């Protein structure tokens, strides 16, 4: 499904006809949750950046527009074997993230740190994004305040100023990915040493650290819960290749568990998905890393298992919709616990429309597997919920129509085409 432009109609449907096993090789793209933050990092220094393996999705188009609003130029270079995103950042940028862009995707808040570091000020609209409950940015603000930033909120914008950021020791009360990223990008230009304790450990954080170090930063502890950043006076542009998208890879592996068959997820990093792969193995899937990515086989109906979302290296909250959809088709009863965000079971009613037996109570879902789901019209509430409904349709009798599929296009580059390449009957209508 090619990503629509930011002005395109949202009347997109994904139509799935179930009953076909999956077979073949499917390639995952670059990680959405890394690419957006790498794009934000380009604001830290003047120059030309070439970012390879960037997914061609709606959220990348939105972040491109946000960078353009600062005065940067963003374009695709199609001259090579694969497109490269080129960002030209001028000597002077406008440190403003306008409401009409920010309200469409939550990741936009990560421009706050680099704008403060580069310009000493920033005006960023309060973020929007997926509809699965509140995710306050208090930790972002408190952490940046430790570095000397001052904040005021008025008329829907965060007004931040920090003429002289100073290194400090910051203890995060929770290993927030976004707060860690904003602090990293501010600290690289702060005077002195910054230590972030209880930092997020996600692979996307390590990817950001790698680009920042290529730009001249001095970051130690990448991949650990303690990051030490020695501030530098100058940074420069750099080239980088985005890591593979573990959430996209998880989608296709869960699809295999639902539909059955044998696939290779090319480019997937098993070392970024160890806990999830173990969980699939417990459920009866044969799964292992190979030279091309991750190989997996599912020859029969899988068995249920209990799942809980936790910060990395635990099961990511983004995996949960796929696991709930998969458990809806397994043998037995599984309990899914959401420990990170409220409101992330809103898609369960849509799965129930397809015949799933799911009961929710607070942050728990009890999923009693059924032998077959039933095709039905359903609605995508957010990126991952929409993808979960698509893969649930693979196990349904008849036709499933997922409306508001523009949500899915925010995080997936041609999910319909990729699944068709494995033998599934999925089309964009």
* Partner residues linked to 23 by β-bridges: 262
Residue 130 falls in the annotated catalytic set:
yes
Which of 348, 336, 329, 345 has its CA nearest to residue 393?
329
Query: For residue 3, what is the enclosing H or E element?
Result: none
Residue with token string 């929710």: 360
Q: How far, in Å, are 114, 124, 189, 238, 375 from residue 235 at the CA level?
A: 12, 23, 8, 9, 54
Tokens of 241: 């290749």
**In angstroms, what is the C-alpha Rg of the chain?**
21
Q: How far apart are CA 166 and CA 162, in angstroms?
A: 9
Decide: 374 and 392 in contact? Cβ < 8 Å: no
CB atoms within 10 A of CB 120: 16
DSSP-derived pairing of the beta strands 333-337 and 150-154: unpaired
Residue 142: partners with Cβ closer than 8 Å, 6 or more residues away:
none
Kindly name the residue from 59, 77, 88, 130 that is annotated as catalytic.
130
Catalytic sites, residue numbers? 130
């Amino acid at each position: 499904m090619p990503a629509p432009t930011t002005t395109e109609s949202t009347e997109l449907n994904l139509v799935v006809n179930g009953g076909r096993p999956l077979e073949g090789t499917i390639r995952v793209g670059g990680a959405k949750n890394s690419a957006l933050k790498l794009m934000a990092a380009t604001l830290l220094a003047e120059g030309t950046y070439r970012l390879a393996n960037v997914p061609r999705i709606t959220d990348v188009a939105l972040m491109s527009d946000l960078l353009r609003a600062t005065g940067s130029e963003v374009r695709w270079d199609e001259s090579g074997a694969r497109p490269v995103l080129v960002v030209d950042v001028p000597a002077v940028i406008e440190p403003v993230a306008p409401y009409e862009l920010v309200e469409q995707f939550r990741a936009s808040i990560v421009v706050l740190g680099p704008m403060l570091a580069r310009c000493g000020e920033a005006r960023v609209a309060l973020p929007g994004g997926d509809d699965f409950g509140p995710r306050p940015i208090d930790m972002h603000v408190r952490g940046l305040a430790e570095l000397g930033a001052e904040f005021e909120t008025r008329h829907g914008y965060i007004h931040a100023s920090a003429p002289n950021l100073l290194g400090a020791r910051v203890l995060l009360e929770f290993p927030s990915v976004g707060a860690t990223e904003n602090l990293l990008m501010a600290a690289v230009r702060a005077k002195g040493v910054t230590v972030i304790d209880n930092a997020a450990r996600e692979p996307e954080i390590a990817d950001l650290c790698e680009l920042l170090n290529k730009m001249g930063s001095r970051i130690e502890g990448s991949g650990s819960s303690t990051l030490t950043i020695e501030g530098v006076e100058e940074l420069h542009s750099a080239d980088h290749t985005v890591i593979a998208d573990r959430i996209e890879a998880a989608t296709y592996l869960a699809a295999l568990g639902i539909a059955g068959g044998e696939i290779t997820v090319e480019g997937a990093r098993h070392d970024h998905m160890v806990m999830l792969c173990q969980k699939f193995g417990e459920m009866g899937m044969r799964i292992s890393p190979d030279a091309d990515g991750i190989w997996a086989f599912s020859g029969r109906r899988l068995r249920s298992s209990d799942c809980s979302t936790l910060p990395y290296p635990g099961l990511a909250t983004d995996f949960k919709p796929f696991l709930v959809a998969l458990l809806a088709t397994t043998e037995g009863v599984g309990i899914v616990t959401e420990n990170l965000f409220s409101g992330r079971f809103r898609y369960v009613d849509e799965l129930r429309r397809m015949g799933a037996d799911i009961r929710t109570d607070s942050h728990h879902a009890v999923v009693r597997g059924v032998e077959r789901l039933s095709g039905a019209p359903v609605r995508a509430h957010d990126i991952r919920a929409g993808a979960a409904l698509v893969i649930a349709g693979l196990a349904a009798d008849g036709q499933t129509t997922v409306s508001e599929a523009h949500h899915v296009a925010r995080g997936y580059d041609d999910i319909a085409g990729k699944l068709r390449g494995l033998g599934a009957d999925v089309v964009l209508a």
